[in-house]
Amino acid sequence: MASYFNMDAALLAAGDRHLQSEDDLAELAMNGEYKVVIGDPLYQPLVQPARTKYIGIPHYAVSSKIYHTDRRRYLREEGNAMIAEGLEAM
């Protein structure tokens, strides 16, 4: 788990990272052994598609102005189905 946002220390697991910049994400994606990354679509170019499957789920604090009109499709059953479909395509 990696995030740019506040992370509750009581909920962190070994290997969880707090990111400071887009460079941190790019480095983590480049050097990590991640098969799947779920994150805001604006960050997708930072993750190499040859190594990692990227499932874009808009985050309100990152791309709300861009995706605000279709945000419902990322919630509940539709959102779960989208993630499952992305994982099945691996």
CB of 37 closer than 8 Å to CB of 55: yes
Q: Has residue 68 got a pLDDT over 70?
A: no
Return the pLDDT at 41. 87
d(CA 30, CA 51): 8
Per residue in 55-66, pLDDT (tens digit) is 888 877 778 777
d(CA 41, CA 58): 6
Helices (H), 32-73: 60-67
Per residue in 25-58, pLDDT (tens digit) is 888 888 877 788 888 888 888 887 777 788 888 8
E strand intervals along 4-90: 17-18, 36-39, 53-56
Q: 75: which 2 tokens?
A: 């919630």
Q: Has residue 81 got a pLDDT over 80?
A: no
